[in-house]
Amino acid sequence: MLPLRQASAQTCVEAPDIAQNERAFKLFQRLNIRTFSTILELVRAEYKDRYQDNADKVHTINPVTRRLLPGLRFYSFWLISRAALLSAHLGDSMMIPFLKEFWTVYLQTLTLIMSTTRFEELPRPEYLLEEDDEIIGFTPLQEGQLQQRFLNLDGTSRKPKCHGHGIKRHHPNIEMLCRFRDFVEDAIDLAHNEVEIFPF
């Protein structure tokens, strides 16, 4: 690591290469889209195998899906903040195949989950889920409307952590179903924002 004195004494002699920076940005956007797609494929496959014909078993979340859901939630937050920007790539040949793949699997997964789960019966945890604790202070997922998700109903104080004193947590399966609900509600938000997705 550079000591503070050394770093501050550096002289930036190169002008920023705008084309390279633009390409770097697109590559990272593409990596996020493809990673999100990979996770969605896994969730969809697991959900379809276990729950499509056994809706009464949806309250028992299998170990693979348990590991995927917190990450799915991170990416759902990311999509809320980046969806409009992704639309700007719709004319870019580097991005088109991956955007098409992504939106296809996103909508398929959403449809599957909504058709098998009754979310209106689920409680709303009044505490931060474990992965929310992990992203406190992480500015990319705290901007704008995302910040509200971490606040109490009064809109000013942050929700308590799940391990906080006096917090009575819901059953882990219920928390997992709440993560599915958040995913669905994020999609509804996207629809309300009239985000332009890939034209099918």
Partner 1 sequence: MTTLIDRKATAVLLEEKHQTTPEFQHAISQSCHQTLIHLGDLSRYRESELNFKGTDRNWGPAIGYYDLAIAIDPSSGTPYNQLAIISKTEGDHARALYHLYRAQSALEPPPTAFANLQLEFRKIREGWERGNLTAATDKGGREPLLKLQSWFPSLHARCFDGVDFAEYDGLERNVLDQLASGLKARSLETGFLNRMILSNIAADFAAGDRWQGKFTQCSL
Residue 143 Ramachandran class (φ > 0 left, ψ -120 to 50 alpha, else beta): beta
Report in angstroms how near the CB of residue 39 gets to partner 1 at its nearest.
8
Indicate the residue among 67 and 118 with the shorter CB distance to partner 1: 67
Tell me how far apart the alpha carbons of residues 153 and 149 are, in angstroms, rounded to a whole number. Answer: 10
Tell me how far apart the alpha carbons of residues 168 and 130 are, in angstroms, rounded to a whole number. Answer: 14
Indicate the residue among 36 and 51 with the shorter CB distance to partner 1: 36
Residue 131 CB burial class (10 angstroms; 0-12, 13-18, ≥19): middle
Tell me how far apart the alpha carbons of residues 120 and 12 are, in angstroms, rounded to a whole number. Answer: 55
Report in angstroms how near the CB of residue 62 gets to partner 1 at its nearest.
10
Indicate the residue among 78 and 119 with the shorter CB distance to partner 1: 78
Tell me how far apart the alpha carbons of residues 142 and 111 are, in angstroms, rounded to a whole number. Answer: 27
- 158 in helix, strand or coil? strand
Indicate the residue among 16 and 166 with the shorter CB distance to partner 1: 16
Report in angstroms how near the CB of residue 46 gets to partner 1 at its nearest.
9
Tell me how far apart the alpha carbons of residues 123 and 39 are, in angstroms, rounded to a whole number. Answer: 26
Tell me how far apart the alpha carbons of residues 40 and 75 are, in angstroms, rounded to a whole number. Answer: 10
Tell me how far the alpha carbon of residue 47 is from its chain's centroid. Answer: 18
Report in angstroms how near the CB of residue 36 gets to partner 1 at its nearest.
8
Indicate the residue among 29 and 116 with the shorter CB distance to partner 1: 29
Indicate the residue among 39 and 195 with the shorter CB distance to partner 1: 39
Report in angstroms how near the CB of residue 120 gets to partner 1 at its nearest.
29
Provide the binding-site residues for partner 1, judged by CB under 8 A: 1-2, 4, 7-8, 10-14, 16-25, 27-32, 34-35, 38-39, 41-42, 63-64, 67-68, 70-71, 74-75, 78, 82, 131, 134-141
Report in angstroms how near the CB of residue 3 gets to partner 1 at its nearest.
8
